[in-house]
């Protein structure tokens, strides 16, 4: 199988597995797992924040951000299509007790700054106060789109004006840094708190890291315990995370190049189209321009030929490159897609 469904399907390289096997362990709830402590210190250092907290998933990190930043009844400014809006089962409302004020996300994965300014509410007798401004980088809704630093700076300025925190769902933050050619900390300096995934392009088996000020992380740790997220000998997870940050982040450009090659090849296939402005990192969104094959039928035909993709929004499919896909896989996938579209 050539699995292009997501970078979540990555398997750890042998060297990462060896780190897991050799991890020094302790009880993390007592703060005594040295490998977890090292991962959290490394994550804080890389992002330029005071502290960090290992969580089981990006969704847990996001919920903790809502819980820790906001009071029940607060409103959060989010983007239409953000992961927290669509793919987290309403957890922000059900668990953190927040509501959303959704804004359109533009082609820079950002907001219209004037509109952002207009929708911020202050506490009064009737309206829910704005408690948090949410960003996502890269933005997966239309592809792996990276927010320019200039846009982050504008959002940060609005937030500071209104004394509001800014959070970044940086599930693929390291992909964004590679695309921009900057250190991860250069992106993170514009947000108060953030989370990034270890289990996507960085290829760890699981895990996410929430980063921010020390007092925020201390409260997030308490909230993690409320969710049943406390862990004991979690160094087996953290060891993989350390290897992921130190080693696997160095090869993300390969995924970006493979995604570009995939997009260029697909654009040559009749009945399919790609908006190249969205092919910035490792995600390719493909539009079906022919009525010959419906979305579900194309996905199934490709699966039968051992190429896995996912249906995306109406009339589109999504393909994601990652550690488990090399140049030969890209060539074979393109040939398969071409053959299926000719059938």
Reported as a single tens digit per residue, the pLDDT across 89-99 is 999 999 999 99
Angular region, 105: left φ>0, alpha ψ -120 to 50, beta rest: beta
What's the pLDDT band for 122 if we cut at 50, 70, 90? Answer: confident
Alpha carbons within 13 A on the beta-carbon side of 51: 10
Cα–Cα nearest to 303, from 262, 337, 270: 337
Q: Mean pLDDT across the stretch 135-145?
A: 94
Stated length of the chain: 343
What's the pLDDT band for 160 if we cut at 50, 70, 90? Answer: very high
Q: How many Å apart are CA 271 and CA 254, to the nearest integer?
A: 27
Q: Which residues pair with 130 in a beta bridge?
A: 75
Q: CATH 3.40.640.10 occupies which residues in the chain?
A: 8-249
Alpha carbons within 13 A on the beta-carbon side of 76: 30
Give pLDDT tens digits for 251-299.
999 999 999 999 999 999 999 999 999 999 999 999 999 888 899 999 9
Q: Is 312 helix (H, G, I), strand (E, B) or coil?
A: coil
Q: Quick one: 145 exposed, middle or buried, by C-beta within 10 A (0-12, 13-18, 19+)?
A: buried
Give the number of other Cβ atoms within 10 Å of residue 239's Cβ.
25
Strand order in the sheet with 272-274: 272-274, 283-288, 316-320, 310-311
Do residues 217 and 54 make contact, with C-beta atoms less than 8 angstroms apart?
no
Q: Quick one: 272 exposed, middle or buried, by C-beta within 10 A (0-12, 13-18, 19+)?
A: buried
What was the pLDDT predicted at 313?
87
Please tell me what DSSP assigns to residue 93. Answer: I
Evaluated on CA atoms 212, 218, 221, 226, the torsion sign reads: negative
What's the pLDDT band for 225 if we cut at 50, 70, 90? Answer: very high
What pTM was estimated for this model as a whole? 0.95
Do residues 316 and 287 make contact, with C-beta atoms less than 8 angstroms apart?
yes
Do residues 16 and 244 make contact, with C-beta atoms less than 8 angstroms apart?
yes
CATH topology of domain 8-249: 3.40.640
Q: How many Å apart are CA 261 and CA 84, to the nearest integer?
A: 30
Cα–Cα nearest to 179, from 249, 243, 84, 242: 249
Please tell me what DSSP assigns to residue 128. Answer: P
Q: Is 314 helix (H, G, I), strand (E, B) or coil?
A: coil
CATH of domain 251-342: 3.90.1150.10
Residue 142 has pLDDT above 90, yes or no: no
- β-strands 316-320, 283-288 pairing: antiparallel
Cα–Cα nearest to 212, from 35, 88, 96, 64: 64
Q: Mean pLDDT across the stretch 169-178?
A: 98
Q: CATH 3.90.1150.10 occupies which residues in the chain?
A: 251-342
Do residues 69 and 210 make contact, with C-beta atoms less than 8 angstroms apart?
no
Give pLDDT tens digits for 47-75.
999 999 999 999 999 999 999 999 999 99
What was the pLDDT predicted at 292?
80
What was the pLDDT predicted at 141?
87
């Amino acid at each position: 199988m050539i699995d292009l469904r997501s970078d979540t399907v990555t398997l750890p390289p042998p060297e990462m597995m060896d780190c897991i096997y050799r991890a020094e362990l302790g009880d993390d709830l007592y703060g005594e797992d040295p490998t977890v402590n090292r991962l959290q210190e490394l994550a804080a250092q890389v992002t330029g924040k005071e502290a960090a907290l290992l969580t089981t998933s990006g969704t847990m990190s996001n919920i903790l951000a809502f819980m820790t930043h906001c009071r029940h009844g607060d409103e959060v400014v989010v983007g239409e299509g953000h992961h927290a809006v669509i793919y987290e089962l309403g957890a922000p409302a059900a668990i953190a007790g927040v509501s959303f004020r959704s804004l359109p996300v533009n082609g820079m994965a950002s907001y219209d700054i004037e509109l952002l300014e207009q929708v911020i509410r202050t506490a009064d007798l009737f309206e829910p106060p704005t408690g948090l401004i949410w960003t996502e980088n890269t933005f997966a809704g239309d592809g792996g789109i990276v927010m320019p630093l200039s846009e982050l700076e504008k959002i940060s300025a609005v937030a500071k004006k209104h004394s509001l925190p800014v959070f970044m769902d940086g599930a693929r933050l390291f992909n964004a840094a590679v695309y921009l050619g900057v250190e991860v900390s250069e992106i993170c300096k514009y947000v108060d708190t953030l989370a990034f995934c270890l289990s996507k392009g960085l290829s760890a088996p699981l895990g996410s890291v929430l980063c921010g000020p020390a007092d925020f992380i201390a409260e997030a740790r308490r909230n993690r315990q409320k969710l049943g997220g406390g862990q004991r000998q979690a160094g087996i997870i953290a060891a993989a995370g350390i290897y992921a940050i130190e080693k696997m982040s160095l090869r993300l450009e390969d995924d970006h190049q493979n995604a570009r090659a995939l997009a260029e090849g697909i654009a040559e296939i009749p009945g399919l189209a790609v908006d190249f402005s969205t092919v910035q990192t490792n995600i390719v969104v493909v539009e079906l321009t022919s009525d010959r094959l419906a979305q579900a039928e194309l996905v199934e035909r490709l699966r039968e030929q051992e190429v896995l993709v996912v249906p995306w929004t109406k009339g589109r499919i999504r393909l994601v490159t990652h550690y488990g896909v090399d140049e030969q896989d890209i060539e074979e996938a393109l040939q398969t897609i071409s053959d299926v579209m000719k059938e």
